[in-house]
Chains A and B, each alone.
Chain A
Amino acid sequence: AQSVTQLGSHVSVSEGALVLLRCNYSSSVPPYLFWYVQYPNQGLQLLLKYTSAATLVKGINGFEAEFKKSETSFHLTKPSAHMSDAAEYFCAVMLTGGGNKLTFGTGTQLKVEL
Chain B
Amino acid sequence: NAGVTQTPKFQVLKTGQSMTLQCAQDMNHNSMYWYRQDPGMGLRLIYYSASEGTTDKGEVPNGYNVSRLNKREFSLRLESAAPSQTSVYFCASSEALDRTHQPQHFGDGTRLSIL
Cβ of A18 within 8 Å of any chain B Cβ, yes or no, is no
B48 smallest CB distance to A (angstroms)? 6
Q: How many residues of A contact B (CB 8 A)?
A: 25
The answer to whether B101 and A102 have CB atoms under 8 Å apart is no
The answer to whether A102 and B42 have CB atoms under 8 Å apart is no
Q: A43-B107, A45-B106, A90-B43 are in contact. Are A99 and B101 (CB under 8 A)?
A: no
The answer to whether A98 and B33 have CB atoms under 8 Å apart is no
A96-114 CB contacts (< 8 Å) to partner B: 96, 98-107
CB neighbours of A32 from chain B (8 A): 101
B67-115 CB contacts (< 8 Å) to partner A: 90, 92, 94, 96-109
B101 smallest CB distance to A (angstroms)? 4
Pick the contact of A99: B98, B105, B107 (CB < 8 A). B98
CB neighbours of A63 from chain B (8 A): none
Q: A43-B90, A43-B109 are in contact. Are A102 and B104 (CB under 8 A)?
A: yes
Residues of A within 8 A of B (CB): 9, 32, 34, 36, 41-46, 49, 51, 90, 94, 96, 98-107
